[in-house]
Structure 1
């Protein structure tokens, strides 16, 4: 499960081409399914058309990036009638007012949880009317309808309120990072194969931007060639993704 803010802003990386296809701009919700059907990708230029990725085409959503098999999975918005219809429905969820089945306004939604394997909305973070801080998470079982202006919940949703998105659901294992040694994984695991390809792709490329760790240690300078040692240091300092996005031939 991921919160929407953990998805928006992620770079979209194609596994086959080892290329950055853009950043996630927003989530496109299917109100009838109560799920995220598409991710809107930022325009390549101000005059360019919006692009998107269908949720079933996502290989994985990690801490640092979202992966797809090939860059062709990032398509033009105009090519999807379904996505255009959802845009016209304009169901944003976050910021939408909450109403009980009996017609009582009880607050607004401040965040949503999204199942990474299906796109299903697992719950909505609830800020009660007249308050500024969230009071808990309303699980999807207590949500009756997602609408453009209101989200309707059961009258007794507070009896089933969760303290957080992770409460009552399984916790994902901690992310694994690529090692500095030669990769030996096969294509049977797309994410591991992506790490293998990316590491081979990086070695010998020129750094285009100074990469500095949070503690001030310089990891790489512009013009330097990427080495195994540089990659290892970037991994330890949580700067691996920044390094991969700032190199050239």
Structure 2
């Protein structure tokens, strides 16, 4: 997890030749996906057009630099209409007011946090009238240019510190890793039942008692778990029977 301010201004280094491509000028937000899709580049040679790097081309974001495989990762935004549209939307998040769907003004964003691997916006740090809190992006309805709209019950999901956002990310990653380890039916038949059981028990341990932040549907579009449900062992076992996809849905949409 990286603060937006930890990314802005970093040198961009080509791994192929060790050259500096430029510096990160800005983070281009995709409001529909809730992610950083591009990093625009500041470079003295790029005066006429706006150059950028698609986030998916980023190899790593370290303390001292952003790395890419080579300078071929750089694109001209004027040649990519969708990218150019995102830049023109000017979604900045920081210093933007936060309001509920019913018009209650909660505060202002002073920082936001990005998954350095996927570009997904994990959450924000808000300044309220009397304190600062963190809020997961799961509560966001709309990332707007002037106002960020959140769910009516967003205040119920305020976190005391941004560290809790990272803990939530780690917990989701642990569950995802466990899901990846659950074998397909064909492979499972050749494994010891105890090993599979142990993996499923670990999933239950990580999810039990967590609260769902959205409705979860089965593959036929029928709702099986409602938003606000506090997950029990039996419900998690039911999700496991439905398949790995449902467990993924649960793990990505829970609050402690």
TM-score by length of structure 1 reads 0.64
Contact 1:16–1:69 under 8 Å retained in 2: yes
Give the RMSD, CA atoms, in angstroms.
1.6
- CA shift at 1:46, angstroms? 7.2
- CA shift at 1:72, angstroms? 1.1
Contact 1:43–1:49 under 8 Å retained in 2: no
In the alignment, is residue 150 of structure 1 matched against residue 147 of structure 2? yes
How far apart, in 2, do the equivalents of 1:92 and 1:139 lie? 17
Residue correspondence of structure 1 range 104-119 to structure 2 within 5 A: 104-119=104-119
How far apart, in 2, do the equivalents of 1:52 and 1:164 lie? 32
- CA shift at 1:118, angstroms? 0.8
Change (3 A) 1:88 1:58: same
How far apart, in 1, do the equivalents of 2:160 and 2:5 lie? 18
Q: Structure 1 unaligned runs (5+)?
A: 172-249
How far apart, in 2, do the equivalents of 1:164 and 1:68 lie? 32
Q: Secondary structure at the match of 2:64?
A: coil
How far apart, in 2, do the equivalents of 1:50 and 1:108 lie? 29
Residue correspondence of structure 1 range 26-65 to structure 2 within 5 A: 26-45=26-45, 47-65=47-65
Contact 1:90–1:148 under 8 Å retained in 2: yes
How far apart, in 2, do the equivalents of 1:71 and 1:106 lie? 43
Q: Secondary structure at the match of 2:12?
A: strand
1:12-65 CA-to-partner distances (Å, cap 9, x unmatched) read 001001110010011000000010000011132473422100000000000011
Q: Structure 2 unaligned runs (5+)?
A: 171-256
- CA shift at 1:92, angstroms? 1.2
Q: Secondary structure at the match of 2:138?
A: helix
How far apart, in 2, do the equivalents of 1:35 and 1:92 lie? 12
In the alignment, is residue 162 of structure 1 matched against residue 159 of structure 2? yes
Q: Give the structure 2 partner of residue 100 of structure 1.
A: 100
How far apart, in 1, do the equivalents of 2:21 and 2:46 lie? 16
- CA shift at 1:170, angstroms? 5.0
TM-score by length of structure 2 reads 0.62
Contact 1:43–1:50 under 8 Å retained in 2: no
1:97-129 CA-to-partner distances (Å, cap 9, x unmatched) read 11012111111111110001111100011011x
Q: Secondary structure at the match of 1:117?
A: coil
Residue correspondence of structure 1 range 85-234 to structure 2 within 5 A: 85-128=85-128, 130=129, 135-167=132-164, 168-170=167-169
1:141-167 CA-to-partner distances (Å, cap 9, x unmatched) read 111111111111122222211233331
| Bigger share in helix | 2
Q: Secondary structure at the match of 2:141?
A: strand
Higher relative contact order (CA 8 A, sep 6+): 1
How far apart, in 2, do the equivalents of 1:159 and 1:141 lie? 12
